[in-house]
Amino acid sequence: MTLATIKMNNLNHIIDSMKKTIITILLALVAVEGQGQTIKASYEDILDSLPTVMQEYMTMQGVQHFRVTLRSEFNGKRAKMKKVTCDNGTFTERNLLPDVMHLVFTDSIERLDFMALPFGSDSLRIACFYPDGGNRRLFEDTVKIDRMKILLETLTPGIGPDYPMIAYSAGIPINGGTWFCGLRDAETEPRLWYEKHGITDYVYYTVTLEEDTPYDENANFYIKISKEESFGIH
């Protein structure tokens, strides 16, 4: 083998390695872009707009409320929702929308209403409504009531494709009390509240976006909910 042949083989090997590296980088970028759609959330307590007497009544009943406004380029993507529970650092997840329900975000601005209402002596009902889709109740969840906890803004994007919308949690433990503002200002992703702030018991609710699948005539049941149209087929 001549010196020229050796140099040519080395050059081909370098080119092949560069091609593989470029392909790997491109695949990684595509994956990041697919999982990293930016969603921005803002929060409003619309109970503040009620007459004073109604605000006082809601306070006496222990009712909590947040309107969560989500902003992104949704472009007809399907929204799936989960409940994430932290129990002393152990996390469990549960899907909240049935498989037959297709909640489709068509606009760049989508709104969800979360309301929490005491139920019995030791429970709290948390419901999510879609005000722009006939004010439909999307899900209802029951958690153990805790006077140290409130419906709490999450403010920070999650790790991975699941975007935290709202939590039911205490704040950062401090001097036998709880510091909600410190938790908000920390801008920590909710899955890290236990690790970074020592919050041992809380739940939060997430939304995940994916491409929607059209109605299949072979499906036994199909529900679509969106701003533009809502219907059920069975």
Give the number of other CB atoms < 10 A from CB of residue 93. Answer: 11
Residue of higher predicted confidence among 64 and 157:
64
User: Residue 126 is which amino acid?
Assistant: I
- Structure confidence at residue 107 (pLDDT): 87
Tell me the mean pLDDT in the region 23-32.
Answer: 34
> 5-9, 117-121, 169-173, 211-215: which range is least confident on average?
5-9
The tally of CA atoms less than 13 A away on the side-chain side of residue 212 is 20
- Structure confidence at residue 14 (pLDDT): 40
- Asked if pLDDT for residue 230 goes beyond 50, the answer is yes
- Asked if pLDDT for residue 160 goes beyond 80, the answer is no
> 136-140, 158-162, 164-168: which range is least confident on average?
158-162
Tokens of 72: 């992104």
Q: CA angle, corner 130, sides to 159 and 126, nearest 5?
A: 70
Answer whether 148's CB lies under 8 Å from 130's CB: no
Q: Write out pLDDT tens, residues 41-64.
A: 999 998 989 999 999 999 999 999
Tell me the mean pLDDT in the region 26-42.
Answer: 54
- Asked if pLDDT for residue 11 goes beyond 60, the answer is no
Q: Write out pLDDT tens, residues 59-115.
A: 999 999 999 999 999 999 999 999 999 999 999 999 999 999 999 999 899 999 999
Q: Are strands 101-105 and 222-225 parallel, antiparallel or unpaired?
A: parallel
> 10-14, 51-55, 97-101, 149-153: which range is least confident on average?
10-14
- Asked if pLDDT for residue 20 goes beyond 50, the answer is no
- Asked if pLDDT for residue 9 goes beyond 80, the answer is no
Tell me the mean pLDDT in the region 169-175.
Answer: 95
- Structure confidence at residue 157 (pLDDT): 76
- Asked if pLDDT for residue 30 goes beyond 80, the answer is no
Share of the chain above pLDDT 70, in %: 80
Averaged pLDDT of the chain: 84
DSSP string, 77-106: EEEEEEEEEEETTEEEEEE-S-TTEEEEE-
